[in-house]
Amino acid sequence: MNVFVAVLWKDLVCEWRSRDRVVAMLVFSLLVVMIFHFALPSDVAAENQASLPGLLWIAYVFAALLGLNRSFALELENDALSAMALAPVERGWIFLGKAAANFILFGLVQAITAAIFALVFRMGLLSIALPLMGVIALGSLGITALGTLFAAISVRTRFREIMLPLLLLPLLMPVLIGAVSATSALLRTGSTPFHNIQLLIVTDLSYLIFSFLAFDHVLDE
């Protein structure tokens, strides 16, 4: 547990001092939102309203890929990743610390992006803000859990910016299906079917357990 807190605190303090990841993710996601805004008609009709949840999660996924690619960049300097591998602790706690930091930073970007998205497309999100936050949190948990593991795998490869999306995106389909469906249902009816939440919970737990156990072997490689 001490390792988890230390890794989490280290990542958050480093990001607070540099702010490079959060700013890059935020600028990128807002650019994606603006591109969608100019691509769609100014008067968003009902058929276009149905596509808005998918567009929002596209912005989230692109921002997450950018941030995850940078999550282990500092550990490459002075071979700090090897020092982590030599720590006499359960390596899964190192993974949880990195994943928790990614989750917090990604959540901050998502909150700002959702507010700008609602303003640009004139969506009323205040009435469903709490359940929407829950859906976004569940979706983000799956993305950051698996994304942190694959970021550690791809960070030592020559083409890590390409490898991470190739490894991660196909396995994120259950998370994205559940998140987009739940967000769409919230916008239409104000409530979310339980099977969408169930899909997200089961997928998140599976990814967390798998990544926790596999991270030991990833650091060895």
Q: What does 54-115 look like in DSSP terms, one character per residue?
A: HHHHHHHHHHHHHHHHTTTHHHHGGGHHHHHHHSSS-HHHHHHHHHHHHHHHHHHHHHHHHH
Residue 72 φ/ψ, nearest 5 degrees: -110, 10
Decide which of 70 and 62 is more confident: 62
> Which whole number is the average pLDDT over 173-183?
93
Residue type, 168: L
% of the chain exceeding 90 in pLDDT: 36
- Return the higher-pLDDT residue of 45 and 24: 24
The whole-number pLDDT of residue 146 equals 93
Range of the domain at 66: 2-220
> Tens of pLDDT along 154-169?
877 777 778 888 889 9
Q: Which pLDDT score is estimated for 74?
A: 73
CA dist., res. 106 & res. 145, Å (int): 12
pLDDT at 163: 85
pLDDT at 45 over 60: no
Three-state SS string across 107-167, please? HHHHHHHHHHHHHHCCCCCHHHHHHHHHHHHHHHHHHHHHHHHHHHHHCCCCCHHHHHHHH
Predicted pLDDT of residue 136: 94
Mean pLDDT of the chain: 85
- In this prediction, residue 82 carries a pLDDT of 66
- Residue 85's pLDDT is what? 64
Q: In the chain, how many domains are there?
A: 1
Q: What was the pLDDT predicted at 16? A: 86
* Nearest in space to 147 (alpha carbons), one of 73, 207, 92: 207
Q: Percent of the chain, pLDDT > 70?
A: 89
pLDDT tens digits for range 68-108: 888 887 777 666 666 666 666 677 888 888 999 999 999 99
Residue 44, pLDDT > 70, answer no
